[in-house]
Amino acid sequence: MQNYIQENQDRFVAELMDWLRIPSISTDKNFKNDVLRAAEFVAEKLRLAGADKVEICPTAGNPIVYAEKMIDPKLPTVLYYGHYDVQPADPLELWTSPPFEPQIKNETIYARGASDDKGQVYMHIKAFEMMVKHQKVACNMKFMIEGEEEIGSEHLTPFVKENKEKLKSDVILISDTNMLASDCPSITVGLRGLAYVEVEVTGTNRDLHSGLYGGAVVNPINALAAMIAKLKDDKNRITVPNFYDKVLEVSPAERLAMSKAPFDENIYKNDISAPELSGEIGFSALEHVSIRPTLDVNGIWGGYTGEGAKTVIAAKAYAKISMRLVPNQEPNEIANLFKKYFESIAPKSVNVQVHFHHGGQPYVTDTQSVAYQAAEKAVERTFGKKPIPMRGGGSIPIVAMFKQELQRDSILMGFGLDSDAIHSPNEHFGIFNFLKGIETIPYFYQYLAEMS
Amino acid sequence: MQNYIQENQDRFVAELMDWLRIPSISTDKNFKNDVLRAAEFVAEKLRLAGADKVEICPTAGNPIVYAEKMIDPKLPTVLYYGHYDVQPADPLELWTSPPFEPQIKNETIYARGASDDKGQVYMHIKAFEMMVKHQKVACNMKFMIEGEEEIGSEHLTPFVKENKEKLKSDVILISDTNMLASDCPSITVGLRGLAYVEVEVTGTNRDLHSGLYGGAVVNPINALAAMIAKLKDDKNRITVPNFYDKVLEVSPAERLAMSKAPFDENIYKNDISAPELSGEIGFSALEHVSIRPTLDVNGIWGGYTGEGAKTVIAAKAYAKISMRLVPNQEPNEIANLFKKYFESIAPKSVNVQVHFHHGGQPYVTDTQSVAYQAAEKAVERTFGKKPIPMRGGGSIPIVAMFKQELQRDSILMGFGLDSDAIHSPNEHFGIFNFLKGIETIPYFYQYLAEMS
């Protein structure tokens, strides 16, 4: 099959670029049509690759693309999951080429969604095409590709609940994570959860002139800043009461194993030009982004933000604040703890509202399972090195949902890199990684069938 | 002349509304043409009112409209100053009628600039027209109306320096302030100064995914919030070292006189729907907005501020911060003290830049001067009550500049009200106040000539 990849790689890349041209931004209703076009695109490609059945399943939100190729009930069944929606592209001015006009520079595809997750989804579709072409489909294959991952997968849960028979499988396969480096493969065995809130601080019923009112009234921006400042202490620990109560502490043995991963703090720091790293005292940078919960302001706004100076006291100030969670923190519980604390630290001179956005459960994979072993062997086969089991810092809330609703584990075999700039300007995906994914995936199915 | 006002009031209002339709927003370059149109409009109206000489004087920025009517070198000369530029109108969604489509509701004109300062400038033009028509021009009259007041009057200072002979006068008259109430007239005898800075806090070279990096890197929004929180202590005193060093403390006698002004904290609070007032401990609300310096964040922004949730750590966070100053604080000195302190409280994990916007000197009027007495008498004549001398909380930086460059005092005879919502959505100006201004102004000239 190696030859097939070489002969077809230009077409594979060109097709992916066609898909990347569709701005399927799920968080912005203005892109609704593009979201639908992106779903139709991937459905058609699954059909062309050889799926027996392809459906665009409507939901109360964006549709879910389902496809399958069932070959033998005695063989294991794998449910592949991915998403065709992407993050917004702003700030647009920081992109060196337009986010939805993909370009290849240095053997790398630049576009919003190149790595997260269209590029990684497309590896699976092309691997599937190849397996069909070579009559090497080793397992029953199911595909479920949704369009709301970037906004919390709201309509995926009811879909999964209503289609348990259709989605029946032995294991779930996902490529929406990264590996440590192209020459140092890893498989993600843990994910952080997420609690995401939006806060609104109101001082007065209208914007005020800072000369006429300044000094006598609370400024909601100053008040919000002071409240945000109170969310962490001087050790960078989150001050929300009971926030850490349920955190499952990681064993010294696991922390030791993790410390063996090749991680150069200077390279990490220099890549992002950070003057200095910063994190909870008592943990390493790699631990900060994997086994420890966090609190970050993802957006803040209020008052005059245009050119020049305006002497106004804003009526309202806003912030979007998210917390990454670790096992066994529960998103709703954490969001409620946050709300209670945030309201308690508000000065009497303001009104505070806390709204909840989507959340997600943290997750840990069993590295002793057959499916994990098959993934490990597949990656070792194509990369020449046994992948390191790593905990990831991001969240894929649906992994916990699959466990709960389908009673199945997920294998997080990702081919992206941390440096792919997902969710940032100039997102990109190496063509090496894209093709290596296409090469690796069929081995996963082959070993899973052999070992089951 | 009373009859003339009654007979012409509809035309006066209609002409003002025509002027208010021109969105002469000086802080936004997109409105450059409108700014020029607003200058041409007022120049034409001065000519029609009876000025002997009208000039639109170019500057390196927006032009300055100059006009004069010289009648007798033995009579006092008054230089009237006003501005034809306006504040931006955002947030647009909070206006109940479009900011540049003036509407009359409850005998009140709603539009950006209705009170600040087009409405108040237009009182002077119509008063001038009336004085000319009735051959009651009692002093030599000069008009200087600029287009950069809302952005710091950058090009007014060189203009004044280069035109000292042309601008020669005995006193300067300005209506860009408020009175306590329509039935409780006051004249502003003090103004606060202003230091305005913009800060930029940089964490990394690009926006980051909060899952992949969250916990290990500084979040510049969190850092900025913490720095802002450190700018005031729990007594609401500004913590910038040496900030209060040069503050001229107001005498107990003056504080007592000020406390006699009719001011109902509940009415004030309820008008703006503030849950509670808030200010420096040890001073009253009226003192907070007049004799005490302040620090307010006028705008803040960073990260994702659109609809929904985005899990990003922004590369940069920004804030616009202004400080109102009182005699004898010096704007540049204060801005530098701020910069030094702000840089000193930045964590090592961020880079901070502090840029200076325009500033302005604080000012106090001599209430014993002939010009002040003339203004007091004029207001008493038309309002039936002696005006209370009040210190204003706002800044008109050019007043201090006039004193320095022209060695002349300014009389701040304003007819607006605090509730006019200047710089806010739904700015408005009462037709009563507009017409009362037109009625009062000629008496000022008459009494000044008589008393000089």
Nearest Cβ partner for B274 among A217, A295, A322: A217
Confidence of residue A144 (pLDDT cuts 50, 70, 90): very high
Q: A209–B292: do the CB atoms touch at under 8 Å?
A: no
A contacts of B322 (beta carbons < 8 Å): 210, 309, 311
Of A211, A277, A418, the CB nearest to B212: A418
Distances (CA, A) of B298 to A154, B199, B322, B328: 37, 11, 7, 23
- B-chain CB neighbours of A305 within 8 Å are 299-301, 318, 320
- Cβ(A40)–Cβ(A58) below 8 Å: no
pLDDT tens per residue, range A345-399: 999 999 999 999 988 889 888 888 999 999 999 999 999 999 988 888 887 778 9
- Whether B331 and B192 have beta carbons less than 8 Å apart is answered as no
Residues pairing with B194 in the sheet: B324, B360
SS3 B270: helix
Look at residue B261 and tell me whether its pLDDT is greater than 90: no
Q: Of the candidates A28, A214, A285, which has its C-beta nearest B324's C-beta?
A: A214
Contact B272 A208 (CB under 8 A): yes
- Chain-chain contact of B320 with A309 (C-beta, under 8 angstroms): yes
The catalytic residue among B15, B34, B68, B85 is B85
Pair of tokens at residue A270:
């220099």
pLDDT of residue B359: 86
Q: To the nearest whole number, what is the mean pLDDT of chain A? A: 95
State the nearest Cα–Cα gap between A183 and chain B, in angstroms.
19
For residues A62 and B367, give the distance between their C-alpha atoms in angstroms, rounded to a whole number: 70
Amino acid at A204: T
Band (pLDDT 50/70/90 cuts) for residue B250 is confident
Best residue of B112, B310, B361, B427 to probe chain A, by most A CBs closer than 10 Å: B310
Cα radius of gyration rounded to whole Å, chain A: 23
CA distance A317 to B296: 13
ipTM surpassing 0.85, yes or no? no
pLDDT for position B364: 85
Task: Give the Å distances, CA to CA, from B426 to A216, A447, B108, B109.
Answer: 22, 70, 11, 10
> Can you give the pLDDT at residue A391?
87
Q: What's residue A396's pLDDT?
A: 79
Q: What is the pLDDT at residue B330?
A: 94
What's the mean pLDDT in B18-36?
A: 97
Q: Long-range contacts of range A236-241, CB-CB < 8 Å, 24 or more positions apart?
A: A236/A278, A236/A279, A236/A280, A236/A281, A237/A280, A237/A281, A238/A293, A238/A294, A238/A295, A238/A323, A239/A341, A240/A295, A240/A334, A240/A337, A240/A338, A240/A341, A241/A337, A241/A341
Side-chain half-sphere exposure of A227, counting CA atoms within 13 A: 32
Q: What angle do CA A44, A46, A51 make, to 5 degrees?
A: 120
Q: Tokens in use for A347?
A: 């000065």
The active-site residue, picked from A68, A85, A117, A150, is A85
B85 is catalytic: yes
Contacts of residue A301 in chain B, CB cutoff 8 Å?
Answer: 300-302, 305
What is the spatial distance between Cα A70 and Cα A51, in angstroms, rounded to a whole number? 9
How far is Cα A384 from Cα A184, in angstroms, rounded to an integer?
A: 9
With CA atoms as reference, the chain A residue closest to B324 would be A211
Q: Tell me if A310 and B298 make a contact (CB, 8 A cut-off).
A: yes
pLDDT at B31: 97
In A106-232, beta strands by DSSP E: 108-110, 140-146, 171-174, 178-179, 186-191, 193-202, 208-209
Closest CA to A280 of A235, A344, A227: A235
Q: Read off φ and ψ for residue B289, nearest 5 degrees.
A: -95, 10
Please indicate whether, in this complex, the C-beta atoms of A289 and B212 are within 8 angstroms of each other: yes
The SS3 of residue A319 is strand
Q: Categorize the per-residue pLDDT at A262 as very low, low, confident or very high, splitting at 50, 70 and 90.
A: confident
Chain A interface, mutation test: which of B28, B240, B263, B272, most A Cβ atoms within 10 Å? Answer: B272
As given in the structure block, the two tokens for residue B285 are: 């609300």
Which residue of B206, B214, B305 is in closest CB contact with A324?
A: B214
Contact B398, B361 (CB under 8 A): no
The Cβ-side half-sphere exposure at B151, using a 13 Å CA radius, reads: 21
Catalytic (active site) residue A117? no
**Is B28 within 8 Å of B13 (Cβ atoms)?**
no
Query: Full-prediction pTM beyond 0.95?
Result: no
Q: What's the CA gap between A169 and B412, in Å, rounded?
A: 81
The whole-number pLDDT of residue B51 equals 98
Handedness of CA A89, A92, A96, A98 (dihedral sign): positive
3-state SS, residue A199: strand
Mean pLDDT of B51-57: 97
Q: Which residues of A touch B150 (CB under 8 A)?
A: 310
Please tell me which residue of chain B has the smallest CA distance to A424.
B207
Closest-CA residue of A relative to B416 is: A212
HSE value, Cβ hemisphere, 13 Å, CA-based, for B361: 10
Distance CA A369, CA B449 (A): 100
The model's confidence at residue A46, banded by pLDDT at 50, 70 and 90, is very high
What does the pLDDT look like over B167-203, one tens digit per residue? 999 999 999 999 989 998 999 988 899 999 999 999 9
Higher pLDDT, A212 or A431: A431
Q: What is the per-residue pLDDT for B256? A: 84
Which chain B residue shows the shortest CA-CA distance from A191?
B211
The verdict on a CB contact (< 8 Å) between A280 and B29 is no
How close B197 comes to chain A (CA, Å)?
9
pLDDT at B366: 83
Dump pLDDT digits (tens) for B76-116: 999 999 999 999 998 899 999 999 999 999 999 999 999 99
Name the minimum distance, in Å, from the CA of B99 to any CA of chain A: 15
Helix axes B2-20, B118-133, angle to 10 degrees: 140
- CA nearest A412: which of A258, A183, A113, A186? A186
Mean pLDDT of A77-86: 98
User: Cβ separation of B196 and A349 shorter than 8 Å?
Assistant: no
Cα(A437)–Cα(A435) distance, integer angstroms: 5
Average pLDDT (A108-127) is 98
Q: What is the mean pLDDT of residues A424-448?
A: 97
CA A125 to chain CA centroid, nearest Å? 20
- CA-nearest of B376, B378, B381 to B445 is B378
The letter for the amino acid at A15 is E
Q: Work out the minimum CA distance from B377 to partner chain A, whole angstroms.
A: 26
With bands split at pLDDT 50, 70 and 90, how would you rate the model's confidence at A2? Answer: confident
Of chain B, the percentage scoring pLDDT greater than 90 comes to: 83
Q: Select from A394, A250, A397, A246 the least CA-distant residue to A334.
A: A246
- State the nearest Cα–Cα gap between B277 and chain A, in angstroms: 5
Residue B358 is predicted with a pLDDT of 81
For every residue of A368-411, which 3-state class applies, written as one string?
CCHHHHHHHHHHHHHHCCCCEEEECCCCCHHHHHHHHHHCCCEE
Higher pLDDT, B443 or A211: B443
Would you call A298 and B289 a contact, using CB atoms and an 8 Å cutoff?
no
Mutation target to probe the A interface, by most A beta carbons within 10 A, among B278, B307, B316, B326 is B278
Q: Which tens digit of pLDDT belongs to each residue from B426-450?
A: 999 999 999 999 999 999 999 999 9
Whole-number pLDDT of residue B157: 95
Q: Which residues of B touch A298 (CB under 8 A)?
A: 210, 221, 303-304, 309-314
Are B387 and B186 in contact, with CB atoms under 8 Å apart?
A: yes
pLDDT value of residue B160: 98
Provide, as residue numbers in chain A, all residues whose Cβ is less than 8 Å from the Cβ of B231.
Answer: 222
In a mutagenesis test of the A interface, which of B320, B329, B361 is the best target, namely the one with the most A β-carbons within 10 Å?
B320
3-class secondary structure per residue, B411-431: EECCCEEHHHCCCCCCCEEEH
Q: Do A349 and B273 touch (CB under 8 A)?
A: no
Q: Which residues of B touch A394 (CB under 8 A)?
A: 209, 211-212, 311
Residue A136: the pLDDT is 96
Which pLDDT score, from 0 to 100, does residue A249 have?
A: 87
For residue B389, what is the enclosing H or E element? strand B388-391
Q: Is B264 a residue whose pLDDT tops 90? A: no
Name which of A212, A224, A425 is nearest B289 (Cβ-Cβ).
A212
At residue A87, the pLDDT reads: 95
Is A418's pLDDT higher than 90?
no
Check pLDDT > 90 for residue A250. Answer: no
Instruction: Please check the confidence at residue A127 and state whether its pLDDT lies above 90.
Output: yes
Chain-chain contact of A289 with B229 (C-beta, under 8 angstroms): no
Helices and strands in chain A: count of H runs, count of E runs: 13, 20
Q: Is beta strand B53-57 parallel, antiparallel or unpaired with respect to B64-69?
A: antiparallel
CA distances from A407 to A358, A370, B37, B319 (A): 22, 16, 71, 49
Q: Residues A221-226: what's their mean pLDDT?
A: 98
Query: Nearest CA of chain B to the CA of A205: how many Å?
Result: 5
Q: Which residue blocks in A50-200 are alpha helix, DSSP H?
A: 118-133, 156-162
Domains and CATH numbers, chain B: 2-191+362-451 (3.40.630.10), 194-272+289-356 (3.30.70.360)
How much is the average pLDDT of B32-47?
98
Q: Summarize the confidence of residues B254-278 as an average pLDDT.
A: 87
Which of B207, B231, B278 minimises the CB distance to A218?
Answer: B278
Give the mean model confidence (pLDDT) for residues A202-206: 96
CB contact under 8 Å between A273 and B205, yes or no, is: yes
A55 burial class (0-12, 13-18, 19+ CB within 10 angstroms)? middle
Point out the catalytic residue in the list B129, B146, B149, B376: B149
Residue B284 · residue B259 · CB < 8 Å = yes
Question: Whose CA is closest to B360, among B159, B153, B189, B162?
Answer: B153
Query: How many angstroms away from the CA of A184 is the closest CA of chain B?
Result: 17
Contacts of B357 in chain A (CB under 8 A): 308-309
Closest CA to A217 of B441, B259, B418: B418
B424 and A226 in contact by Cβ < 8 A? Answer: no
Q: A355 near A153, Cβ under 8 Å?
A: no
Q: Is A350 exposed, middle or buried (0-12, 13-18, 19+ CB in 10 A)?
A: buried
> Which pLDDT does position B375 carry in this prediction?
98
Token pair, residue A407, equals 């009673």
Q: How many CB pairs under 8 A join A and B?
A: 367
- Best B296, B342, B426 residue to mutate vs chain A (most A CBs within 10 Å): B296
Give residues with Cβ within 8 angstroms of A348, minimum separation 6: B275, B276
Contacts of A123 by beta carbon, 8 Å cutoff, 6+ apart: A175, A415, A434, A437, A438, A441
